[in-house]
Amino acid sequence: MTRILAIETSCDETAAAVVDDGVFVLSSIVVSQEALHRRWGGVVPELASREHAVHLAPAVRRALAMAGTEWSALDAVAVTRGPGLAGALVVGLNFARAAAVGRGIPLIAVNHLEAHLHASWLASPMALPSGHTPDFPVIGLVVSGGHTELVVMHDWDVVEVVGRTRDDAAGEAFDKVARILGLGYPGGPAIQAAAALAPATTSGSGEPDARDTLSRPWMRGNLDFSFSGLKTAMLRQVEGELHGNGTPVGNPSRLAEVARAVGHASAGDNAARPVTERTARLARAFQEAVVDVLVSKACEAAVMYGAKEVVLAGGVAANLRLREALIAASPVRVRVPALEYCTDNAAMVGAVAYRQLLRGEVSGQGLDIRPNLQIGER
């Protein structure tokens, strides 16, 4: 049995976990900085680093206590080295390095995006180990605040990117559109909640009302994505309705200005407002368009690459509509992470680190962060 202490500080979650054999999560502590960053409508890097410095040691202590383990029982320390915010990554990496040196155990540097891809195979300590081995090749859809990538996992460590966003990441689009609609921060859960309030379709045909439908950015002929056009379409809707005639007016780059003009969100004011029926319908229209494109391309990739499974990963994988639609449409088995392992956490870092330890991929003490790390790099 191999016991790993894992640390994650790439963005705005300070996280520590103890994971056995890369699968069994003995403890997973996540200290969210959401409330701190909410008033700015997004993550403020310097504030994030300082918060990590304050909260990491207590988080590690809690993770060890909850796992009922001592430092002496650990076989390795794992940490995210990238991609992420430089100042945030440094805090986790320095802590992990000091712990590894102090205990004389291996230090394992993990790619945050690969960690997300491993989250679906995590289990509670009571689970049976069977059923936790993927059948390769696996299509992975990584959808987070910073990334939207479609990959083929030929094996745990052989990951090929076959499609990616050309502009905004899916989570980023959710966050920006939530801001346009005055739905607060972070946008993904807010849009999902607002969309759920939209009334059933009204046309009588079972089809959504045309006013509730956005055209999809298909990017035909490849597996890439583009979400900035959807954001602009939402902005034009809001802007047009602001002027009372539904006619698009103005320059879409005036996002913050328009959001302020419609009395929705501005810096320092990102708390959610009561949701009107129109806002709920727009939230649903946006969510449906994003989900439709993500699901279609993931399924297309599954057929194209003869995949045996499709795995969903990253913060947007928490979206219930996306999970439901992918499960309904996929030609092969779908794995989705438990909700607690969709958004940033350290258990997923422990999962990928275990595979690296088995392969002897251990870092030296001069390890550095890699804020721009790509999938497939370590």
Residue number, 146 or 217, with CB nearest to ligand KG4:
146
- For residue 14, state whether it binds Zn ion (rule: CB under 5 A): no
- Interface residue with Zn ion among 67, 344, 353, 370 (CB under 5 A) is 344
In three-state secondary structure terms, 274 is: coil
- For residue 171, state whether it binds ligand KG4 (rule: CB under 6 A): yes
Strand pairing partners for 80? 110
- For residue 184, state whether it binds ligand KG4 (rule: CB under 6 A): no
**259 vs 238: CA distance, rounded Å:** 8
- Residue 92: which H helix or E strand, with range? helix 86-103
List Cβ neighbours of 163 (8 Å cut-off, separation of 6 or more). 149, 150, 222, 223, 224, 225, 297, 301
Residue number, 74 or 290, with CB nearest to ligand KG4:
290
Residue number, 106 or 189, with CB nearest to ligand KG4:
189
Q: How many amino acids of this chain bind Zn ion (CB under 5 A)?
A: 2
CB 22 within 8 A of CB 363: no
Residue 266 DSSP class? B
- Interface residue with ligand KG4 among 41, 134, 187, 229 (CB under 6 A) is 187
Strand pairing partners for 316? none
Q: How many amino acids of this chain bind ligand KG4 (CB under 6 A)?
A: 20
Residue number, 258 or 322, with CB nearest to ligand KG4:
322
Q: How far is the CB of 56 from ligand KG4 (least distance, A)?
A: 17
Residue 352 C-alpha from the chain's centroid = 16
Residue 175: contacted member of ligand KG4, Zn ion, none (CB under 5 to 8 Å, by partner type): ligand KG4
Strand pairing partners for 335? 311
- Interface residue with ligand KG4 among 30, 318, 325, 348 (CB under 6 A) is 318
Residue number, 3 or 321, with CB nearest to ligand KG4:
321
Residue number, 32 or 69, with CB nearest to Zn ion:
32
Binding mask 111-150 for Zn ion (x = CB under 5 A): ---------------------------------x------
Residue 174: contacted member of Zn ion, ligand KG4, none (CB under 5 to 8 Å, by partner type): ligand KG4
Q: How far is the CB of 116 from Zn ion (least distance, A)?
A: 6
Given the rule CB under 6 A, which of 97-105, 258-266, 294-302, 309-317 is the region that contacts ligand KG4? 309-317
CB 208 within 8 A of CB 216: no
Residue 186: contacted member of ligand KG4, Zn ion, none (CB under 5 to 8 Å, by partner type): ligand KG4
Given the rule CB under 6 A, which of 62-70, 72-80, 181-189, 299-307 is the region that contacts ligand KG4? 181-189
Residue 24 DSSP class? E
**355 vs 279: CA distance, rounded Å:** 45
Given the rule CB under 5 A, which of 29-37, 130-138, 316-324, 336-344 is the region that contacts Zn ion? 336-344
- The residue type at 27: S
* String of DSSP letters for 144-200: -SS-EEEEEEEETTEEEEEEEBSSS-HHHHHHHHHHHTT--SSHHHHHHHHHHTSPP
Q: Two tokens at 77?
A: 């320390």
In three-state secondary structure terms, 53 is: helix
**Nearest residue to 30 (alpha-carbon basis) of 13, 45, 47, 42:** 13
Omega before residue 83 within 30° of 0, cis: yes
- For residue 42, state whether it binds ligand KG4 (rule: CB under 6 A): no
Pairing of strands 3-8, 13-20: antiparallel
Residue 229: contacted member of ligand KG4, Zn ion, none (CB under 5 to 8 Å, by partner type): none
- For residue 82, state whether it binds ligand KG4 (rule: CB under 6 A): no
- For residue 14, state whether it binds ligand KG4 (rule: CB under 6 A): no
**86 vs 171: CA distance, rounded Å:** 20
Residues 118-147, interacting with ligand KG4 (CB under 6 A):
144-146
Query: At which residue do the structure tokens 């607060």 appear?
Result: 184
Give me the residues that bind ligand KG4 (CB under 6 A), please: 11, 144-146, 171-172, 174-175, 186-189, 192, 314-316, 318-319, 343-344
Give me the residues that bind Zn ion (CB under 5 A), please: 144, 344
